[in-house]
Amino acid sequence: MTGVIVSIINGLLLGAIYGLAAIGLTLIFGVMKVINLAHGAMIALGMFALYLLVSWLGINPYLAVPVVGVGGFLMGFCIYWIAVHRVIGRAELMSLLATFAVSMIIVGVGTVLWSTSPYNVQVDMPGLSIGRYTIPGNHIVAAVVAILVAVALYLFLYYTRLGKAIRAVASNRQASELMGIPSTRVLAIAFGIGIGIAAVAGSLIATLFPFTILSGASYELKSFVVTVLGGLGNPAGALLGGLLLGLIEGSVSPFVSVSWTPVIEFSLFVVILILFPAGLFRVGRGR
Amino acid sequence: MSRLMDVQNVSKHFSGVKAVNDVSFYLDPGEILGLIGPNGAGKTTLFNLVSGVIPPDHGRVVMRGEDITGMAPYHVVDRGLARTHQIVKPLNDMTVLDNVTVGACFGSEKMGLKRAREKALSVIRMVGLEDRRNLLANQLTIAGKKRLEVARALAGNPQLLLLDEVLAGLNPTEVQGMINVIRTIREDSGIAILIIEHLMQAVMNLSDRVMVLNFGSTLATGTPEEVTRHPQVIEAYLGDPDMAEKLMRK
Amino acid sequence: MMIKRPFFWMIVATVAVFAIAPLVGGIGVRESLFLAAIYMILALNLNFMIGYTGYVNFGSIVFFGLGGTLGIFAITVWGWPLWAALIGAGVVVAGLALLLGLGILRLRGAYFALATIGVVEATKAFVSNFDPFGGSTGMYISFSAYKPLGGAREALWVAYFLLVAVLGISLLLSFWIKRSRFGLGLFAIREDEDAAMVLGVKAPLFKAIIYSVSSVLPAIAGVLFFFKNGVIQPEQAFDLTLSIEAIVMLMLGGQGTVIGAALGGFAYEQFRGYLLTSSTFSSFHLVIAGALLLLIVLFAPGGLIGWAHERWAITRKVLE
C-alpha cells in the first residue's frame, strides 16, 4: 500500500513538471492559436543549456535554471520574428510546419554538437524516506520550482500591465489593437515566455533524468496530452492536467508494466479530445 | 396540409438571451414572405433554426408535412430548402462555376456532375455572372459574391429559398439588378422565398406577406399594407407614421 | 475517352519509367526508386486529406505502419501469401480508418491535427506491447516466406513492381477523385465546411470516406515496404517524423495538386538521398531540410506547382 502511495506521490511530483512544460505550449496556443511543434526541441535545448552552464561555469544547477529561462525567452522572442510572425492568422498547417521546421533546425544543430548520446546533470540532494521507499530530493525540489514558476506566471498574467495586455490580445486581438495595445510586440513577448517556460521545464527535467537531444519529443507529446486534459489555451488547466497525468502514471505504474502507460495516456488523449475538446477543467476562464 | 413550410413555436436561447422566442409562421408554395426587424431581432437566428445550422430549444419545423426539426443542414437541403448567408461564404479558392456546381450537385435535386455544370451555367447566366464564371470566387466584388450566394442556393432546384440580406452593402444599380434577379426567380420557377431585408422599399414591393420580428418575438404578420400601418411596428421599427405611404408609393 | 486525357499519359509515363529504369540501371536504382515510390504514395494519399479536404492529418503514417504490421503478421504467423496479405491489410485498415474517422473527424483544425498525433502514438504504444505482433522487437520474415515467389532475390523484384502498381493506382485515384462529384464536395469542405453543409454536402460522411480511402494504399505500401525490408519494428513502422516528412513533400510540390504531390515525394527522396550521402551535408541534413521547409512555408506556401500557377495562368489548366 505504501508502495502505491509513494508511486502516486512520485507521479504527482513529475506531473507538476509536465504541467509546467504544457503551460508553455498552451500559453502560445491560447494567445496566437499556434501549436508550437518546436516545443520539444526547446525543452531539449533547456536540458542542454543547463548542462553547459553547470559543466562549464560550475554553477549550482538550481541557480542556472533562471538563466536558462531568460535565455529561452530571448530565443523564443527571436524565433517569433523569424519563423512565426508571418504565419499568424494563416491556415493551421502553416504555423504547424513553420514551428516544425524550427524544431528540425534545432534538433539538427543539436545532433551535430552533442550527437544523440545521453548526457546527465549530477544533483546531490537528500531524499525523503517513507518506510522502505525513498522519494528523491531532486524530484521534490523540481516540482516545487515548477509550481512556483506556474504561480509566478499566473500572477504576472493577472496582475501586471503586460500580463493583462497578453490576455487581452488572446481574447480579441483586433479589439486590443484598437485599445492601443501593440499586439504584434505582445505576441512576440508571449511566444518568448512560452518558450522560456518550456526551457525551464527542460532544465528541471535535466536535474532528474539522463537526456539526449531527442528527449524533448516525448515531453512534447506529454505536453499535448496535458494540454488536452486541461483545455487547449488554458494555462491554469494545464497545471491541473499535468498533475492529473502524473497521478495517472503514478497510480498505474505499480499495477501494469511501464510500457503500457503510453497506450493508456494516448488513448485517453484521443478520447478526451473527441468528447471534451474544451478540456476537463473549466478554471481560469472567467464566469 | 398543403403548407410548404410550417414553423411552430420555435425558440432559441443563447446563454440567457432569448434570441428567438416562440415564433410561428408558415409559407405556401410560390409565396414570398418578407422578414423584417431591427438589428439583433433574431432574424438570422431564425434562418439558422429553420435551415438546420443550429437546432431550436423548443418548437417544430415542418416542411411539406415532414418534421425536420434539428436535422443536419444537408438533410434539410435534401427536403428542398436552400439558403444564402448574410456574411457571404464563398468557396474562395474555387471558380465561380465550381461554386455554383457544388450547389447544383448537392442541392435538393442531386445532379450528376455533367448536368450540374449545365444547370450551374444557366443559373450563372440568370444572376448575371456569366462573364466572371472562370474567376476565383474571392476575386469577385461584394456584389458579385452576393449574386454567387443566390446562384449557389438556386442551382440545386430548391422549393424554398431563404435569402439573408442579399441587398445589403450594394449600390443602387446593384440593388436593382438583384431585385430583378429575385423577380425572375419567382416568375420562372415559382419557388417560395423567405427574405430578410433591411431595405424596406424592396421588401414591401417583393413580398406577398411580411413578418416583423422584435427582440426575438413576432410583432406583426400580414400583407405589406397591413404591416406598415401596424402601430407597434411603426413605433418599434419604422419610426415615422407617414412611412407607410412613402414606402408604398414607389 | 480516358486515353485522350493528358493525365492518363502522365500516369503511363511515370509507371513506365519506374518499371524500366531499374531493369536498365540495376539494383541501386531500384532501391532509390523503391523509396521514392513509397514517398510518392504517402504524399499522394495524404493529399486527399490535406490538399483535397483541408484536414491536416499529422498521423498519416499510422496507416502505413498498421498495414505493414497486419500484413507481415498475416504472412509470418498465418502463412498467408503476399497477395492475400496485401488485400487483407488494405481492407482491415480501411475499415478501422472509417470507424476512427467518424470519431476524430468531428474535430477541426488544430484539434484534429493533435488527435491524429495521438492516434499514431497510441497505436505505436499498443503494437509495442502486443505480443502477437512481436512487441517492441517486432517481427522477422523467415526466408521461407519468400519461397513461393521464387526466392528472396526474386521476391524483392516482385515487391518493387507491385509497389509501382500501387503508385500507378494512387495517381489514377488522385485524378479520378479530383474530377469527380465526390471530389467537388471535398473541395467545398476544404474551402468552408459550414457553407458546404448548407449547400447539401454530407460533410461527416464525405470526410470519413476520404479518410478511409486515403488509408488503403499506404497500408498496402506498408506491407510491401516491410516485406522487402524483412523485419518490422514499431519504432520504424509508426515513425511520426516520416508522417511529417510526408507533409513536407506535399508542401514542396504543392498541396491539392496531383502532380505537386507526386513531384514533391520524388524530389524529397532525391534531395534527402543527396544530403545523406554528400560528405559536406550529411551531418547537417536535418538542418538543411528544416531551413528549406521554413523557406517554403514563409515564402512559397503553394509549393512548386502553386508557384507555377501564380507565374503562368496556363499551368492551372494543364497541371492538376
Q: Which residue of C has its CA nearest to B89?
A: C195
Cell numbers of C52, please?
483535397
* Beta strands B5-14 and B192-196, pairing class: unpaired
For cell 498498421, the residue is C66
Total tally of structural domains belonging to chain C: 1
pLDDT in the model for residue A284: 43
Q: Under 8 Å CB-to-CB from B87, ≥6 apart: which residues?
A: none
Q: To which H or E segment does residue B60 belong?
A: strand B58-63
Distance CA B211, CA B230 (A): 11
Three-state DSSP class for residue B6: strand
Q: Tell me which residue of A198, A185, A240 sits closest to A41, measured CA to CA.
A: A198
CB pairs below 8 Å between B and C: how many? 77
User: Tell me, what DSSP letter sits at residue A211?
Assistant: B
Q: Is residue C211 part of a domain?
A: yes
pLDDT in the model for residue B121: 94
Residue A282, pLDDT > 70, answer no
Average the pLDDT over B2-30 and give the result: 90
Nearest CB to B106: which of C180, C191, C201?
C201
CB C110 within 8 A of CB A29: yes
Residue B240, pLDDT > 70, answer no
User: Tell me, what DSSP letter sits at residue A57?
Assistant: I
Q: Under 8 Å CB-to-CB from C27, ≥6 apart: which residues?
A: none
Q: Tell me which residue of C92, C100, C40 sits closest to C66, measured CA to CA.
A: C92
Distance CA B205, CA B226 (A): 13
Three-state DSSP class for residue B80: coil
pLDDT in the model for residue A27: 93
C129 at A interface, C-beta within 8 A: yes
Distance CA C308, CA C195 (A): 29
The torsion angle over the Cα atoms of residues A12, A16, A18 and A20, rounded to 10 degrees, is 170
Q: Which chains touch A (3 or more CB pairs under 8 A)?
A: C
Q: Is residue A137 part of a domain?
A: yes
Sheet hosting strand B81-83, strand order edge to edge? B81-83, B160-164, B192-196, B32-36, B209-214, B217-222
Show the low-confidence residues of chain C (pLDDT under 70).
Answer: 1-3, 313-320
For cell 523564443, the residue is A76
Count, residues in chain B: 250
Spell out which residues of chain C touch residue A232, defining contact as CB-CB under 8 Å: 110-111, 114
pLDDT in the model for residue B242: 66
The torsion angle over the Cα atoms of residues A268, A271, A274 and A277, rounded to 10 degrees, is -30
Q: Domain containing C162: what range?
A: 2-238
Please answer yes or no on whether C184 and B105 come within 8 Å at the CB atom: yes
pLDDT in the model for residue A285: 41
Residue B164, pLDDT > 80, answer yes
Q: Rounded to an integer, what is the distance from CA C183 to the centroid of its chain?
A: 18
Three-state DSSP class for residue B173: helix
Provide the CATH topology of domain B5-249.
Rossmann fold (3.40.50)
Q: Is residue C244 part of a domain?
A: no
pLDDT, averaged across chain A = 89
Cell numbers of C18, please?
519506374
* Beta strands B209-214 and B32-36, pairing class: parallel
CB pairs below 8 Å between A and C: how many? 126
Residue A22 to residues A16, A19, A94, A226, A235: CA-CA distances in angstroms? 10, 5, 21, 6, 8
pLDDT in the model for residue A245: 92
Distance CA B179, CA B207 (A): 11
Please answer yes or no on whether C298 and A86 come within 8 Å at the CB atom: yes
Three-state DSSP class for residue A214: coil
Q: B196: which strand partners?
A: B35, B164
Q: Is residue C296 part of a domain?
A: no
CB A51 within 8 A of CB A119: yes
Q: Is residue C227 part of a domain?
A: yes
Please answer yes or no on whether C290 and A112 come within 8 Å at the CB atom: no
Q: Is residue A96 part of a domain?
A: yes
Average the pLDDT over A241-268 and give the result: 88
pLDDT tens sequence across B209-225: 999 988 888 888 998 88
Q: B136: which strand partners?
A: B95
pLDDT in the model for residue C1: 52
Q: Under 8 Å CB-to-CB from C229, ≥6 apart: which residues?
A: none
pLDDT tens sequence across A48-96: 999 999 999 988 999 999 999 999 999 999 999 999 999 988 888 899 8
Domain residue ranges in chain B: 5-249
Q: Under 8 Å CB-to-CB from A213, ≥6 apart: which residues?
A: A44, A48, A107, A110, A111, A114, A115, A116
pLDDT tens sequence across B60-85: 999 998 999 989 999 999 999 999 99
pLDDT tens sequence across C84-95: 999 999 999 999
Average the pLDDT over A17-46 and give the result: 94
Total tally of structural domains belonging to chain A: 1
Cell numbers of B40, please?
439583433
CB A211 within 8 A of CB A219: no
Distance CA A128, CA A135 (A): 5
Distance CA A154, CA B147 (A): 50
Q: Tell me which residue of B54, B61, B106, B51 sits closest to B84, measured CA to CA.
A: B51
CB B212 within 8 A of CB B36: yes
Nearest CB to A92: which of C56, C121, C294?
C56
pLDDT tens sequence across B87-127: 999 999 899 999 999 999 999 888 899 999 999 999 999 88
C125 at A interface, C-beta within 8 A: yes
pLDDT tens sequence across A145-181: 999 999 999 999 999 999 999 999 988 888 988 888 8
C298 at A interface, C-beta within 8 A: yes
Q: Is residue A13 part of a domain?
A: yes
Entry pTM: 0.90
Cell numbers of C256, please?
491539392
Q: Domain containing A43: what range?
A: 2-218
pLDDT in the model for residue C3: 66
Residue A253, pLDDT > 90, answer no
pLDDT, averaged across chain B = 88
Q: What does residue A118 show for φ and ψ, rounded to 5 degrees?
A: -75, 145
pLDDT in the model for residue B248: 62
